Amino acid sequence: MKNLDIVIVGGGPIGIACGLEAQKKGLTYVILEKGPIVNSVYNYPVNMQFFSSSEKLEIDEIPFISKEAKPRRSEALEYYRRIATSNKLNINLFEKVTSVSKVDNEFTIVSDKNSYKSKNIVIATGFYDIPNLLDVPGENLPKVSHYYNDPHFYAGQKVAVIGASNSSVDAALECYRKGADVTLIIRGTEVGQRVKYWVRPDIINRIKEESIKVFYNSTVKEIAKDTITINTEKGIETLQNDFVLALTGYKPNFTLLDEIGVSFSEDANKIPTYNDETMETNVAGVYLAGVICGGMETHKWFIENSRIHAKMIIDNVVGKNNN
């Protein structure tokens, strides 16, 4: 069993930032990532373009040079991978944490490959693992996906895209341009206001010219092998359908936090308890970094405004060690 100063759970951009800070301060550490380097970014759609500019995605003041003002997924993968490898970060990939327990002031972190002891643990696990389900009949059919990757797959198919966010709009536009017959199903009255400012006019114009069909104020009633049935303002409609992209958002996995004893707000946002100056939770030695700090408010924290968490956490750990 390995004894460390700090264990970082999650090898995304913020987990990497925490590793860099720990390394600079001479702490012994490991980053445990259940997938590849920056697993969440890897699982973004293949053509995805960030809302943020490249300098806002930088960590540790390492320059991020991209071809466009808004970098794409492939450039981000290259950037974060090179940071991890060139700095020789101690990152264990495809290693999933299965349990965390605490005795006195020491944690035991067990993964599917190893076990570790540490006085400090950082949870930087993001929110991309658990989709918000529709809870309708037929949602478990093979034609339904809560993740979207490459539009080529949907060429020549009747595709229903559910949602009004960036992911839904990007998928609808890309699939339409690869030859899919696309229908957008939106619960609200309009395309989401958070949709990227250079993309929102595009989808609105495609809807106006009827290149992409849309049902506002509508929800899915049932999904069948060759159809999708929706509740609309004008009543129930059944459409011919080959594939459903249910891009209705995601939520963090709170299992580890619950297991460790981290408390949450009592409202629906389920925001974990932490000190916003140190990022330490109500459980001494447990720190939060990145998106998970927002609980169910997954639009609150991004790379650009949570990269500062790394320095806050490591400075606090070092300060404790010096006392």
Phi, psi of 304 (to 5 degrees): -65, -30
Look at residues 248, 243, 249, 131 and name the one whose alpha carbon lies nearest to residue 183: 243
Q: What is the pTM of this model?
A: 0.90
Look at residues 144, 130, 68 and name the one whose alpha carbon lies nearest to residue 292: 130
What pLDDT score does 299 carry? 80
**What is the distance between the alpha carbons of residues 244 and 162, in angstroms, rounded to a whole number?**
8
Express each pLDDT in 100-152 by its tens digit: 999 988 999 999 999 999 999 999 998 888 899 999 999 999 999 999 999 99
What pLDDT score does 120 carry? 97
Tokens coding 253: 């996995």
**What is the distance between the alpha carbons of residues 219 and 73, in angstroms, rounded to a whole number?**
31
One-letter amino acid of 99? S
User: Where would I find the H helices in the chain?
Assistant: 13-24, 39-42, 73-86, 166-177, 200-208, 255-260, 303-306, 309-322
| End-to-end Cα spacing for the chain | 26
What percent of the chain has pLDDT above 70?
Answer: 99
Q: What is the CA radius of gyration of the chain?
A: 21
Q: Helix, strand, or coil here: 287?
A: strand
From-to residues of CATH 3.50.50.60 in the chain = 2-130+250-322, 133-246
CATH architecture group of domain 2-130+250-322: 3-Layer(bba) Sandwich (3.50)
One-letter amino acid of 205? N
**What is the distance between the alpha carbons of residues 204 and 202, in angstroms, rounded to a whole number?**
5
For the domain bounded by 133-246, which CATH number is listed?
3.50.50.60
Express each pLDDT in 228-269 by its tens digit: 999 999 999 999 999 999 999 888 889 899 999 999 999 989
- Average confidence (pLDDT) over 18-23: 97
